[in-house]
Chain A
Amino acid sequence: MKQAPALAQGFPDLSGMRIAREPHWFRWISAALIVLVLAAIARAFANGQIEWSYVSRFLTAKVILEGIVNTMVMAVLAMMLGIFLGIVVAIMRLSPNPVLKSVAAGYTWLFRGTPLILQLLLWFNLALVFPTIGIPGLWSARAVDVMTPFLAALLGLGINQGAYTSEVMRAGMLSVDIGQYEAAQAIGMGRLRALRRIVLPQAMRVVIPPLGNEFIGMVKATSLASVIQYPELLHNAENIYYANSRVIELLIVAGLWYLLAVSILTPLQMLLERRFARGTLRLAR
């Protein structure tokens, strides 16, 4: 075997030397400044016209706790309705059938094109259009009895959400490689089975981050249902301050609960993401 040629001189031996730690002066200064500003804001609020005792007293008041429970129940139910509608509409949108396609496009256009608060008011006031509703000859009822604040909020929020979710779902389905549809067809699957077994599970991985976003939006959008008397968090907080005039204190109470709810949702989303990431990570075995 030939001997390796001698290495050239003039390149010092660096082995054993470490990379030095940089002082990062700017980070220290900017962090100190931000702490100062935050302290000033905290001091201003502490000395402002806020009775903090009211905040702590009402934070766990029964009406407020009922409010946050109603808020979360509505957010979960409306989101479920929204996701269900979103999947159905996305599948319709991607179907080869032109009728289904246009119905889906029309739905998205209508419910994305009008303000949510307007839709809530329309559902709640449906009795003005149809005094009685029902199936002719079988069942009928007065619309005011059927269209409770709960149902109006659920329909308004859920159907509106479905319009947005359908686009998220469609994006997820389009992100799945066409070869996956073909492989599913090649083992004899029909379109719907291929969607359910092969395409949707892969699309879920892509849609969970935007859906988490939408769900956080939904938790806060339920506050709009206060205008149709649904007893959610903001509505109940308002009712208290109408009585005791502690407006800011109760708004802070509501704000803290919204923050807490959203803070709990973030780790839940991460758990879901991990569940649907199966097969995409080269896990150590």
Chain B
Amino acid sequence: MTKPLVAIRSVAKNFGEFRALKNVSLDVWPGEVMCLIGASGSGKTTLLRCINQLATIDAGGIWLDGELLGVREQGGKLHRLSEREIGRQRLKTGMVFQRFNLFPHKTALENITEGPTQVQGRKPDEVRAEATELLRRVGLSAKADWYPAQLSGGQQQRVAIARALAMKPMLMLFDEPTSALDPELVGEVLAVMKELARSGMTMMVVTHELGFAREVADRVVYMDKGAIVEQGRASDVLGAPREERTKAFLSAVI
């Protein structure tokens, strides 16, 4: 029997008084495309950031590929892992940010090769060839030597996706990847994500693009006030929601 790639168990996260995540448990299966929807402040972005350890959880545990994230159990206590070990765990996930966060002082190609050469210590020639192929895959072969400031938002986000893929992650995390884009640029980014989903990549996508969720997601998870309210097949959650809160959210956004 296959095991979940990500197992989230009773996770809680607070920002001061604010309870961002309350007792969240969830499995993500290999090859699955999961869309997380919900109002802002519902905890969906925080959940992604906890999986990538940009935020540390206050209770519970997250296992990625069978490995407990961020802490080690020893003598009935949990001990925080070193920065180096956390860095190694992060390599299993690729993160795409709402605001792209490309490195502005590096070209598109250099943005992609930075991680593999500097962090993984791989050969520059080999990495460059892979990066060129990734740029072709996201449709930006012609822009390899351009700086982020010379690219449109949609092009920047596609470079950011290529940068995350260059680390050969097992799981791709997308944090509202199209929310900062002009409407006419959303399609090109979603097209790259659809292609990625078809290629079998496991993906967790925080999004407001319900059309994308309906078309691509294997499962849609609706979150509200730090908890999972409803989840299931996209057609069920989006087409025939059972919970009142889901219905209210969907009628507000459509």
Binding site for B on A (CB under 8 A): 177, 179-180, 182-191, 193, 197-198, 201-202, 205, 276, 278-283, 285
Interchain CB contact under 8 A, B149 and A281: yes
Q: Complex: how many Å from CA A184 to CA B114?
A: 9
| Chain B 70-87 interface mask (CB, 8 Å, partner A; 1/0) | 000000000000011001
Known: A182-B97, A197-B114, A202-B104. 10 other contacts (CB 8 A): A183-B101, A186-B93, A188-B91, A189-B87, A189-B118, A191-B83, A279-B104, A279-B105, A279-B107, A280-B104
CB within 8 Å of A: which B73-125 residues = 83-84, 87-88, 90-91, 93-95, 97, 99, 101-107, 114-115, 118-120
A190 lies within 8 A of B83 (CB): yes
Residue of A nearest to B84 (CB): A190
B positions within 8 Å CB-CB of A? 52, 54, 83-84, 87-88, 90-91, 93-95, 97, 99, 101-107, 114-115, 118-120, 146-150, 160, 163-164, 167
**Cβ-neighbour of A187 out of B107, B150, B163 (below 8 A):** B163
- Our pick among B88, B97, B103, B146 for the contact of A188 (Cβ within 8 Å) is B88
Question: Are B164 and A188 touching (Cβ within 8 A)?
Answer: no
A-B CB contact pairs (8 Å), 22 listed: A179-B99, A179-B101, A182-B54, A183-B102, A186-B94, A186-B97, A188-B88, A188-B90, A188-B119, A188-B120, A189-B115, A189-B118, A197-B114, A201-B105, A202-B105, A278-B147, A279-B104, A279-B107, A279-B147, A281-B149, A282-B150, A285-B150
Q: Which residue of A lies closest to B83 (CB)?
A: A190
Chain B residues with CB under 8 A of A198: 103
Within 8 Å CB of B146, what residues of A? 285
Which residues from A are CB-within-8-Å of B101? 177, 179-180, 182-183
Complex A-B, nearest 5 residue pairs according to Cβ-Cβ distance, in ascending order: A187-B115, A279-B147, A183-B101, A186-B95, A179-B101
Instruction: Report yes or no: B90 in contact with A185, Cβ–Cβ below 8 A.
Output: yes
The interface residues of chain A lying within 8 Å CB-to-CB of B52 are 186
Given known A-B contacts A179-B99, A193-B119, A279-B149, A186 and B164 have beta carbons under 8 A apart = yes
In the complex the two chains form, is B114's CB within 8 Å of A185's CB?
no
Residues of A within 8 A of B105 (CB): 201-202, 205, 276, 278-280
Evaluate contact between A188 and B115: CB separation under 8 angstroms: yes
Bound-state Cα–Cα, A180 to B52, Å: 15
Q: Which residues of B contact A283 (CB under 8 A)?
A: 150
User: Could you say which residues of chain B place their CB within 8 Å of the CB of A281?
Assistant: 149
Q: How far is the CA of A282 from the CA of B146 in the complex (A)?
A: 10
Structural contact, B103 and A180, CB atoms closer than 8 A: yes
B173: nearest chain-A partner, CB-CB: A186
A183-B103, A188-B91 known; A280 vs B149 contact (CB < 8 Å)? yes
